[in-house]
Each structure stands twice: as structure tokens, then as C-alpha cells.
């Protein structure tokens, strides 16, 4: 079960580093594993929403469709993919 | 009888950075200074210098191997605890403290008088000293192809060394094919400096060079060694020690391609490539906030100022490297939007 609050906790801690760049793209660096995640502008937007406390997948989809010209189905697909990726890379600790 | 250990001051004129080697044999200090293009002074006290203190520790595990002297990849283990990092190499243990301008390096007695091993042992301290001077120690190549100064990044086996050899064969200039320093100059400009005087080229890379160019290179080390070494000369126009980059290219080998493919990269992908090319990953650890901020600031400036491209090279790199590099340079000019210095 993906826990958005657990992802947010890592994003807001000093275990990770994130930076949005001039062209809207950005990176999230996992400082424990020295891994870098490069994201496009919608990916960075969602990362910021999670870091700022978005409580559910539905919140993220709504924020995405409100801000970008993207349909509901695409937004749902993109949000699910991103949080799955963030969960596996940043928050999920096996065992 | 080996030289007595003493104190030596190495001056990186461009950065500015000064490193004081303490407890270092004279012949080793002079060899390191020669490799790093640094004037060296003996027994010079300098309170502003980054200090590297060597201490002999016979208890360290050390496994000497003649055939590993010029092997490229160095196995480094890092332990970070509180504000201290320990870097462990065979026969050496380096202790670095966040924000501190002193590195303690314990070395096995057999390492102390070997200039090459001592240079490797000092690498972690150099990376730290560079970060404190807002400079970055990167794994990458720096080349000037058809007057275009290119910072070329790419993982192991991506082809940096082969492109460097091909650059030589086209009459271009090589600053480094493997290790370099990114630094600020004249307040806000960015420049690249070769880390080492010797340029190491893999055997496979040399095959792209014309015989006349190969003959200029000198092979050293045991016959089984996979690398060739060229000792650059100041008078040799094929080599320079510094350049101002006009673009960043991230190199990928793509054996399905015949020629090449060049695509603009986002700033995020360019920054990710710089982070992956960072030779001092421990300095991004949260316990080193000042160093982390200095490095990120430098890399973000670079990706903000320079256009970045992903460069995929196919089989033509080995079949007709000169024509391929000319075509790449021409395409880069067409894409435009970069400074040529």
C-alpha cells in the first residue's frame, strides 16, 4: 500500500534533495542511495504537491487537471505511475 | 634511501585553491604537483590552505598488485557518520569533516612512497577541498571539436575515451578524456580544467587513431595493462589544460545506430548526469550541507547556462570516427544557441 505521507516525509527530510530548474523540469536525489530521479514539469509539480501535503491520489489528479491541459484518464495514469516510482525509489524499505 | 617526509604547498592558480601536503615524501609531493599542474613549494606555512595530513598506519590492509597500477576504476568504500566521512581504499583511510579544511589520511607503509597510489589516496581529500572552493571533481571528458568546446559526460564504456582519441585524429584538442575539474572563474564564468597531466586512453580507443598519431603516444606499464598513457607537453597543440565549455553532451553508445543521433536534453536530465558524474558522492550527504550546496549551485549554473544534448553514437564511431565527429559538430552548430569561445 502506497503511503503518500511517507513519501512526503522523505521529500521534506534531509535524506533527499529536490530542485526545480528554469525550464520547469527538476530532480529528486535520494541521498541515502545516491540515486537521481529526473522529472519533467508535471512530475515536479506533483512532487511539490506531495511534499506540501496532498492527502490522496484524487487530490493529485484534481491538482494536475486544474493546472495542466490534461484529461482525467491521462492524469490518473501519470499520477499512479509517479507515486509508484517515488514509493519504490524513496520510501519503500523491503523487510 | 627514500626521501624524508615533509610539508609541501600545492597551488591551484585558477581556482583559487591551495593544498598543503603534510608528512608527505618530497618525491611524492613533486610527482602529484606535476600531475595536477600545480607549482609546489616546500615547507611553506599557509593558514588559508586545505591541509592534508598523512600518517603511516601499518595495520591497514593493503594488497599490492603490479598489474593494477594503471587500471582505471578505483574501488572506494565510504562510511559517513555524524559530520565525518571515511573513505576506504586498499592501503589508505581518509577522514573528512564537514566544512573542515583538514583531511587526515592514514596510509600503509608500502603506499607512502608510491606516487601513483599516494595520488589516488589524496583524491578524496582533493574532492573535498574543491567543493569548499566551489569547484567540482567530475568523471567526464572535455574536448574541442571543430572549435566547439564540449563537456562530455557518460557512464563507463559510453565511449568518452574513444571520442577523445577520435578528436585527436581530427586535429581537435583534448583537455581530459576521463577526470576534470569544473570551477568558477572571473566571478561568474564556468571553466573546466584537466585534473591530471597524463591522459589515459584504453587500448580499444587507440585503434581509431591514425598510425602517425598512435606513434606520438607512449605506452607504459606492464604488457597486460589495458591503458596507454600520453604525457601532454605544453608545446603540443593537441592538448590544453583548461577550456570554457559551450555545451554539455551526454554520451550513449547505441550499436543499433549506424551514425549518430543528437537530441536536446532537459535541464533535469543534464543535472542528473552531472550528479551521476560527481566523483565525490559522499559530499552530497546531508551531513555535508555546505559542500552539498556549493556543488549543486555550480551544477545548476552549468545546466542553466549551457545547452545540453543527448548524443547517441553508433558503429561509425569505430568505422569512420573523423567523419562522424565533423558531422556531429556541424549538427551542433545548426542547433545553435551556444557560446563559442
Which residue is closest to A15 within chain B, CA to CA?
Answer: B286
pTM exceeds 0.90:
no
Mutate to test the interface with A, among B78, B248, B250, B268 (most CBs of A within 10 A): B268
Q: pLDDT (tens digit, 9 = 90+) per residue, B222-276? A: 444 555 666 665 556 677 889 999 999 999 989 899 999 999 999 999 999 999 9
- What mean pLDDT comes out for the span B151-175? 87
Per the rule left: phi > 0, alpha: psi between -120 and 50, beta: everything else, B97 is beta
How big is the A-B interface in CB pairs under 8 Å? 51
Q: Is B83 on the interface with A (CB under 8 A)?
A: no
Q: How far is A12 from chain B (nearest CA, A)?
A: 12
- For every residue of B231-244, DSSP letters joined together read E--TT-TTB-SEE-
DSSP element (H, E) containing B95: strand B92-97
Question: What pLDDT is stored for residue B65 in this prediction?
Answer: 60
- Note whether A83 and A56 are within 8 A (CB): no
Which residue is closest to B266 within chain A, CA to CA?
Answer: A25
The whole-chain average pLDDT of chain B stands at 84
- Write out residues in chain A with pLDDT < 50, as ranges: 95
B122 pLDDT exceeds 70?
A: yes
Question: What pLDDT is stored for residue A49 in this prediction?
Answer: 96
Rounded to 5 degrees, φ, ψ at B325 are -65, -40
- Note whether A20 and A44 are within 8 A (CB): yes
DSSP state of B278: B
Distances (CA, A) of B131 to B22, B124, B305: 20, 11, 20
> What's the rounded Cα separation, in Å, for the pair B267 and A11?
20
Question: What pLDDT is stored for residue B333 in this prediction?
Answer: 85
Give the CA-trace dihedral at B45, B49, B55, B61, to 10 degrees: -160
B271 vs A21, A31, A40: nearest CB: A21
CB spacing of B269 vs A17 below 8 angstroms: no
How much is the ipTM here? 0.88
> What's the rounded Cα separation, in Å, for the pair B324 and B309?
16
Q: Which residues of B touch A31 (CB under 8 A)?
A: 284-286
Q: How far is A10 from chain B (nearest CA, A)?
A: 13
B1 pLDDT exceeds 50?
A: no
Q: pLDDT (tens digit, 9 = 90+) per residue, B90-119? A: 899 999 999 999 999 999 999 999 998 999
Nearest to B127 by CA among B278, B296, B329, B318: B278
Counted residue by residue, chain A has a size of 95
Q: Is A23 on the interface with B (CB under 8 A)?
A: yes
Q: What percent of chain B has pLDDT over 90?
A: 52
Amino acid at each position: 500500500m502506497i503511503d503518500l505521507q511517507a513519501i512526503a516525509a522523505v521529500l521534506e527530510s534531509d535524506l533527499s534533495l529536490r530542485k526545480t530548474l528554469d525550464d520547469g523540469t527538476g530532480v529528486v536525489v535520494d541521498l541515502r542511495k545516491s540515486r537521481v530521479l529526473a522529472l519533467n514539469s508535471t512530475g515536479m509539480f506533483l512532487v511539490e504537491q506531495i511534499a506540501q501535503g496532498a492527502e490522496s491520489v484524487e487530490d493529485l489528479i484534481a491538482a494536475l487537471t486544474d493546472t495542466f491541459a490534461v484529461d482525467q484518464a491521462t492524469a490518473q495514469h501519470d499520477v499512479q505511475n509517479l507515486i509508484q516510482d517515488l514509493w519504490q525509489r524513496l520510501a519503500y524499505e523491503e523487510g | 634511501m627514500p626521501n624524508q617526509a615533509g610539508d609541501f604547498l600545492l597551488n591551484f592558480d585558477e581556482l583559487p585553491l591551495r593544498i598543503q601536503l603534510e608528512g608527505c615524501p618530497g618525491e611524492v609531493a613533486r610527482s602529484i604537483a606535476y600531475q595536477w599542474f600545480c607549482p609546489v613549494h616546500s615547507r611553506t606555512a599557509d593558514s588559508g590552505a586545505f591541509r592534508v595530513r598523512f600518517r603511516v598506519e601499518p595495520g591497514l590492509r593493503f594488497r599490492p598488485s603490479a598489474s593494477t597500477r594503471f587500471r582505471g576504476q578505483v574501488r572506494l568504500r565510504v562510511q559517513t557518520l555524524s559530520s565525518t566521512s571515511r573513505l576506504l581504499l586498499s592501503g589508505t583511510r581518509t577522514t573528512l569533516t564537514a566544512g573542515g579544511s583538514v583531511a587526515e589520511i592514514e596510509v600503509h607503509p608500502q603506499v607512502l612512497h608510491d606516487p601513483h597510489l599516494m595520488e589516488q589516496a589524496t583524491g578524496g581529500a582533493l574532492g573535498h577541498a574543491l567543493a569548499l572552493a566551489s569547484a567540482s571533481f567530475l568523471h567526464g571528458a572535455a574536448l574541442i571539436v571543430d572549435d566547439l568546446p564540449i563537456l562530455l559526460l557518460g557512464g563507463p564504456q559510453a565511449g568518452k575515451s574513444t571520442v577523445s582519441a577520435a578528436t585527436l585524429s581530427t586535429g581537435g584538442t583534448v583537455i581530459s578524456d576521463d577526470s576534470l575539474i569544473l570551477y568558477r572563474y572571473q566571478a561568474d564564468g564556468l571553466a573546466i580544467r584537466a585534473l591530471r597531466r597524463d591522459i589515459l586512453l584504453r587500448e580499444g580507443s587507440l585503434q581509431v587513431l591514425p598510425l602517425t598519431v598512435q606513434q606520438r603516444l607512449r605506452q607504459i606499464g606492464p604488457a597486460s595493462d589495458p591503458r596507454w598513457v600520453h604525457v601532454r607537453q605544453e608545446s603540443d597543440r593537441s592538448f590544453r589544460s583548461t577550456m570554457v565549455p559551450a555545451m554539455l553532451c551526454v554520451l550513449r553508445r547505441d550499436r543499433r545506430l549506424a551514425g549518430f543521433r543528437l537530441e536536446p536534453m532537459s535541464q533535469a536530465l543534464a543535472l542528473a548526469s552531472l550528479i551521476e558524474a560527481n566523483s565525490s558522492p559522499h559530499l552530497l550527504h546531508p551531513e555535508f550541507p555546505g559542500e552539498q550546496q556549493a556543488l549543486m549551485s555550480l551544477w545548476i549554473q552549468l545546466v542553466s547556462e549551457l545547452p545540453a544534448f543527448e548524443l547517441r553514437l553508433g558503429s561509425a564511431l569505430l568505422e569512420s570516427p573523423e567523419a562522424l565527429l565533423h558531422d556531429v559538430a556541424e549538427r551542433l552548430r545548426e542547433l545553435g544557441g551556444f557560446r563559442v569561445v
